[in-house]
Amino acid sequence: MLTDNQITALLRQSSKEFRDLEERHHQLDAELNDLQRRHALTPQDELVKKQIQKEKLAKKDRLAELIRLHREKDAPTSSR
């Protein structure tokens, strides 16, 4: 059975969707870090921060789903 890291490496090579999601997740992480470095956030900044957090979580959930689907697809079928 492949580990999550091995599946991630395979998906990076074979899935444009996975690469795009991962890249966007990293971009959102950088944007969030920039916001959090500020001394004080305006109400608008707080809204942007929440939107970034939601989008980042959605990307992470989709990445995890792709890993799970790949694992299920490649898992040997249990025989009865």
pLDDT of 60-75, one tens digit each?
A: 999 999 999 999 998 7
Residue pair 59/21 in contact by the 8 Å Cβ criterion: yes
Supply the pTM of this predicted model. 0.85
Residue 80 covered by a domain:
no
Work out the burial of residue 55: count CB atoms within 10 Å of its CB; fewer than 13 is exposed, 13-18 middle, 19 or more buried: middle
Residue 19: partners with Cβ closer than 8 Å, 6 or more residues away = 12
Residue 78 covered by a domain:
no
Q: How confident is the model at residue 77 (pLDDT cuts 50, 70, 90)?
A: low
Residue 47 covered by a domain:
yes
Is the pLDDT reported for residue 76 higher than 90? no
What's the domain count of the chain?
1
